[in-house]
């Protein structure tokens, strides 16, 4: 099995069903029940995707995801009984790629894992941009997955980085929310409004470095574009 998944879930029957569904789809699954144990394993690396329960005995999946995003950009799926929209938005905002509500179909979860991994592989290749095409105030360092704005580094989440990278490669192009979701490898089931949340975060971070400018343009009913100059 070449695909390795980390499952963080304290409900053993649920975990067993997920492990079986993933195994049937030729994916190996390491199962743990605690945030501390999961974080230690994630720091060691070797996982292609993490499935995180939100409510765990020694913490919660949101905090685990925040910690993970400090050193890794592997895809994350939240698996939880919390159905409130605000929880889904928070989960996606802090860097998750999908949010699956309990009860759920283990086979559907396995299909979502496959879809997210496929999207992540499509988004991963780095095509060198024509120097004249990129906005002068944005410098994309694809090898280090780093962005400079006016020479200063931006602290971006994986989703923010991929969205900004896509827009910077084609300045002035209007990207629909669906196109930005696809560029960031977000699952089709994710809320399109989560794109607005990520764009809001990007704007806030860009404004810190270029306070007199707003390089991201909003096109009502259409999407977003990045200006060639701030």
**What are the pLDDT tens digits along the chain (230 aa)?**
489 999 999 999 999 999 999 999 999 999 999 999 999 999 998 999 999 999 999 999 999 998 998 888 889 999 888 777 777 777 777 878 888 888 999 999 999 999 888 877 755 544 444 443 456 678 888 777 788 888 888 888 888 888 898 888 888 889 988 888 888 877 655 566 778 888 988 888 888 887 777 889 999 888 999 887 65
Q: Contact 97/158 with Cβ under 8 angstroms?
A: no
- Where are the extended beta strands (E) located within 85-200? 98-101, 138-141, 146-149, 152-153
The pLDDT, as a whole number, for residue 29 is: 96
Do 143 and 115 share a structural domain? Answer: no
| 160 shares a domain with 102 | no
Q: What was the pLDDT predicted at 131?
A: 41
**Beta-carbon contacts of residue 187 (< 8 Å; ≥ 6 apart):** 97, 98, 112, 115, 116, 119
Containing domain of residue 215, as a range? 138-226
Residues 16 and 114 occupy one common structural domain: yes
Domain limit, last residue, from 72, 98, 123:
123
In a domain, 58, yes or no: yes
- 132 part of a folded domain: no
> Residue 161 has what pLDDT?
87
At 54, list the tokens: 């939100």
- In angstroms, the CA 204 to CA 63 distance is 22
- Alpha carbon distance, N-terminus to C-terminus of the chain: 47
Is the distance from CB of 108 to CB of 25 less than 8 angstroms?
no
Last residue of a domain, one of 59, 93, 123: 123
66 and 152 part of one domain: no
Whether 62 is covered by a domain: the verdict is yes
CB 23 within 8 A of CB 29: yes
Q: How far apart are CA 64 and CA 33, in angstroms?
A: 12
Whether the full predicted model's pTM is greater than 0.85, yes or no, is: no
DSSP 3-state of 83:
coil
Give the tokens for residue 229: 């100059």
The verdict on 46 and 86 lying in the same domain is: yes
Q: What does the DSSP 8-state code read for residue 218? A: E
The residue out of 89, 123, 157 marking a domain boundary is 123
Answer yes or no: do 61 and 117 share one domain.
Answer: yes
**Same domain? 8 vs 118:** yes
CA distance 145 to 73: 10
12 and 92 fall within a common domain? yes
Q: Are residues 51 and 151 in the same domain?
A: no
Q: How many domains does the chain have?
A: 2
């Amino acid at each position: 099995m070449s695909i390795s998944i980390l499952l963080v879930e304290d409900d053993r029957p649920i975990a067993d069903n997920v492990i079986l569904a993933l195994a049937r789809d030729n994916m190996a699954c390491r199962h743990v029940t605690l945030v501390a144990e999961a974080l230690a394993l994630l720091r060691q690396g070797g996982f292609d995707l993490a499935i995180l329960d939100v409510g765990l005995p020694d913490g919660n999946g949101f905090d685990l995801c925040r910690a993970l995003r400090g050193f890794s950009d592997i895809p994350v799926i939240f698996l939880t009984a919390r159905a409130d929209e605000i929880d889904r938005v928070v989960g996606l905002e802090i860097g998750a790629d999908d949010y699956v509500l309990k009860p759920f179909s283990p086979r559907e979860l396995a299909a979502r894992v496959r879809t997210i991994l496929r999207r992540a592989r499509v988004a991963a290749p780095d095509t060198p941009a024509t120097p004249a095409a990129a906005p002068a105030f944005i410098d994309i360092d694809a090898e280090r997955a780093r962005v400079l704005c006016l020479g200063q580094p931006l602290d971006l989440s994986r989703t923010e980085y991929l969205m900004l990278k896509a827009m910077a490669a084609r300045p002035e192009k209007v990207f629909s929310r669906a196109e930005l979701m696809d560029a960031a490898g977000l699952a089709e089931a994710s809320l399109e409004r989560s794109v607005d949340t990520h764009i809001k975060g990007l704007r806030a971070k860009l404004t810190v470095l270029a306070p007199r400018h707003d390089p991201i343009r909003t096109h009502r009913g259409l999407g977003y574009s990045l200006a060639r100059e701030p």
